[in-house]
Structure 1
Amino acid sequence: MKKLLLLLLFSLPLFAQNDSIPVVKPNLSLIGLNKLNFVYKGILNPFLVNVKDSKPFKVKGESVLQNIDGTYSIKPKTLKDTKVQVEIQTSDSTKVIEEHIFRTKELPYAALLVNKKGCINGECTIEMSSKELLNAEITVKLIDYLLDYNITVTSFRIHLSNSNGDFLDSFEVKGDKIPQDIYEAIAANDKATLIVIHKFTFASDIGLSIMKTPVVKIRRILETK
């Protein structure tokens, strides 16, 4: 009986230690990025920082930029996870550093479109009549891009060639539409069967940089007179 009682006494502290529950303190900082919780490589990804009880804080991290309006942006250079550190000054003059980690995705392929027609998955040739080219709008679309964006074409070049691939003429266009005078020059050239639109410039709200400039080729359908 004495031996049994001794074993029970030694067992009690062991059970008491295993019953303890770890307490996880909630973060003082919150980063408002996007619902998908990732960032795109090579462009500005804006985000907001909110700290509980408006405590003073500093935001640090590789490729983290502070904007004039007080918001922040991340522009990752690699596909590694992007880390943002928030250094918070607490009421007792101590510092708390909280780390937020986001996945980094590659920027998707960009397609050049003419009146919303183009090659979504790579280079191809579309067919259009001469009439469709008048005031045709040139736009850029990011394929499978999951966030909001705005891209405006500011200029582009038109290259004309015949069925043998021989160069015929070229035009530099300002803006995002084929104007009347250039349309008339294309329409008057019966030998121009292939129209290439390329070398475009653009403005965007996401700090976009396109490494490989997309091209759209148009095989012109000649109308019967």
Structure 2
Amino acid sequence: MAGGKLSPRQKMINLMYLVFLAMLAMQMDKKVLSSFGFMKEKIEDANLVASSNNSNALNSLKTKAGEQPEKFGELNKKAQEVNAASNQLFDYLESLKAKMSADIKEEDKANYESQKSPDVVDELLFNGDKLTPEGTKFVAEINTYNSTLKSILGDKASAELITNIDKRFNTNPDIAEDGGQKIEWIRSRYEGMPLITSIANVSQIQGDVKTTEAEIYSKLVGGQLESEVSMSNYNGIVALDKNAFYPGEKVTGSVVLGRYDATLKPTRVEFNGNKDYKNFKDGSVVVDMPAGAVGDKKIKGTIYFTENGEEIPVPFESTYSVIPKPNEAVISADKMNVVYRGLDNPITISMPGVPGNKVTAKAAGLKRIKGDSYVMRPGSGNQVNIKVTGMLDGKPVTSSKPFRIKDIPPAVGMVRNQYGTVKMPKSSVAKIVVAAGLPDFLFDLKLNVSSFKIKVPGQVAIPVTGTRLNARAKKALQRARRNDVITIFDIKAAVSGSNYKLKKVLPVSIEVTN
């Protein structure tokens, strides 16, 4: 189109072409302005969602701080300070956008193609080669937010978080495109820019505020959770399959990891039926109770914690066994393992390490009275075996022991509770009551005499039924003289309350003294 002499027609074509290019450029400029407007809408919508999410995260952290102040109290304090600083900058930016768009008519607020003039923003932020008070405040607010966040987070803040803060809230001068003179941050972004572009840029800074706020909350809570799951907070817990083992057995069980947290305090504890158990310390429930009677026992209950305002139950259950305390030596006279025929022989049967209710015993004539107390009334034979079975960890343990069966030893005839040869006057002999006894026997038995015979020297033996002399015996007694020895023999006796009859009763003698 340049050079040479052009015909009027060609000049007209060239002019129309230039007009077409100008119209195309204007159309493209309008589309760019609309794009900034649509971007602003998307950013503002995202900011609303981010505000809601941040509010939920902050409330959750506040709740945790109330539940576990030792762990989350300081984190919550920092989060509240970050929230206050973020709200301050966000609200200022919102007021700045309001000033920028104050002259836009209501019907033109969504007409972004009409918001192309830079005049409003230039007058609001710039005064020649200087900044207006509003422009100065704009830069100061961003710088203050940067330094405030770093101060709140302290030296332990992650490098990534500090880098993001400096990247998003940095007002250092920009380098010109030709690499020459530096341009103020605010001028390179807002001076001479269309109105909708400046408003969109401010909305983007608001989005950076919400994003940074969310990242800080995540780092604060995430850092605490990382500390909690650190292996230094775990203890090895030995969980054996049972609490006692015997020689020759294998010790079985497992070793597991359990996390210890002294700050995690239950809101309440139910322990073995106690709905308000108060004995817990440093994050653990203290077990302190009487062992109880001999037998298997259960420890059962529920620990309640509050999480996010909701009570969470954590049930627990375990078992233990109470065994008799070994306060006596076990001494057995091997030759004295004897039970007597016809008698209720008391026997105590137990098995070390096994509760009484898990022990059973069997033998001919054996009967359980209560607990570990038994009686045995042996029958015929010379020996009986008592077989004892105990349940230990669900498995039977068996033992047996033999006992000899013996008859009750021979009794002795007695008068006046004396045996052998008893001295008394003849007048007293007629009044005697014949009895039988078992001196030094283990059992205190009552023997009932049913009959006997009496022999007076020089007279025939006279049988007597019962325990007193009959008429014939008294008549024979009249012939007795001084120093005569009267013999009472063939005494028949039985154990009271039993049908067992004594096989033999030794005689008793009476020496007449006058």
With the length of structure 2 as denominator, give the TM-score of the two structures. 0.28
Amino acid at match of 2:449: S
User: Aligned equivalents of 1:115 and 1:34: distance in 2?
Assistant: 39
CA contact (8 A) 1:60 1:86 kept: yes
User: Aligned equivalents of 1:172 and 1:190: distance in 2?
Assistant: 21
1:148-183: per-residue Cα shift (whole Å, max 9, x none)?
Answer: x1222333435344423424573523xxxx5xx869
Q: Which residue number corresponds to residue 166 of structure 1?
A: 460
Larger helix proportion of the pair: 2
CA contact (8 A) 1:47 1:72 kept: yes
Amino acid at match of 2:512: I
Give the root-mean-square deviation of aligned CA atoms.
Answer: 4.4
| CA apart distance, 1:66 | 0.7
Q: Which residue number corresponds to residue 157 of structure 1?
A: 451
CA contact (8 A) 1:40 1:76 kept: no
Superposition pairs of residues 41-120 of structure 1, within 5 angstroms: 41-42=340-341, 43-51=343-351, 52-61=354-363, 63-67=364-368, 69=370, 71-74=373-376, 75=378, 77-80=380-383, 82-92=384-394, 94-102=395-403, 107-119=408-420
User: Aligned equivalents of 1:46 and 1:152: distance in 2?
Assistant: 17
| CA apart distance, 1:60 | 1.4
Aligned with residue 39 of structure 1, among 335, 338, 341:
338
Amino acid at match of 1:23: P
1:203 and 2:500 matched: no
Aligned partner of residue 151 in structure 1, secondary structure:
coil
1:213 and 2:512 matched: no
1:127-159: per-residue Cα shift (whole Å, max 9, x none)?
Answer: 5433544455624115x54x3x12223334353
Q: Which residue number corresponds to residue 122 of structure 1?
A: none
1:49-94: per-residue Cα shift (whole Å, max 9, x none)?
Answer: 3352344332113x342155563223264444x43211223443x3
Structure 2 unmatched runs, 5+: 1-245, 250-322
1:3-41: per-residue Cα shift (whole Å, max 9, x none)?
Answer: xxxxxxxxxxxxxxxxxxx9367xx999xx996462234
CA contact (8 A) 2:359 2:390 kept: yes
CA contact (8 A) 2:494 2:500 kept: no
Aligned partner of residue 200 in structure 1, secondary structure:
strand
Q: Which residue number corresponds to residue 140 of structure 1?
A: 437
User: Aligned equivalents of 2:446 and 2:423: distance in 1?
Assistant: 24
User: Aligned equivalents of 1:191 and 1:90: distance in 2?
Assistant: 75
| CA apart distance, 1:190 | 0.8
User: Aligned equivalents of 1:128 and 1:187: distance in 2?
Assistant: 18
User: Aligned equivalents of 2:391 and 2:247: distance in 1?
Assistant: 22
| CA apart distance, 1:187 | 7.9
Amino acid at match of 1:38: N
Q: Which residue number corresponds to residue 23 of structure 1?
A: 247
Q: Sequence identity, in percent?
A: 14
User: Aligned equivalents of 1:161 and 1:137: distance in 2?
Assistant: 14
Superposition pairs of residues 167-182 of structure 1, within 5 angstroms: 167=461, 170-173=464-467, 178=468
Aligned partner of residue 387 in structure 2, secondary structure:
strand
CA contact (8 A) 1:41 1:76 kept: no
Do the aligned partners of residues 128 and 55 (structure 1) sit closer, same or farther apart at CA in structure 2, a change above 3 Å counting?
Answer: same
| CA apart distance, 1:111 | 1.9
Amino acid at match of 2:507: V
Do the aligned partners of residues 106 and 138 (structure 1) sit closer, same or farther apart at CA in structure 2, a change above 3 Å counting?
Answer: closer
Q: Greater relative contact order: 1 or 2 (C-alpha under 8 angstroms, separation 6 or more)?
A: 1
Do the aligned partners of residues 214 and 168 (structure 1) sit closer, same or farther apart at CA in structure 2, a change above 3 Å counting?
Answer: closer
Aligned partner of residue 118 in structure 1, secondary structure:
coil
Aligned partner of residue 186 in structure 1, secondary structure:
helix
Structure 1 unmatched runs, 5+: 1-21, 120-124
User: Aligned equivalents of 2:387 and 2:462: distance in 1?
Assistant: 57
Amino acid at match of 1:157: S
Amino acid at match of 1:98: S
CA contact (8 A) 2:411 2:436 kept: no
Amino acid at match of 1:172: G
Aligned partner of residue 96 in structure 1, secondary structure:
strand
User: Aligned equivalents of 2:356 and 2:438: distance in 1?
Assistant: 40
Aligned partner of residue 355 in structure 2, secondary structure:
helix
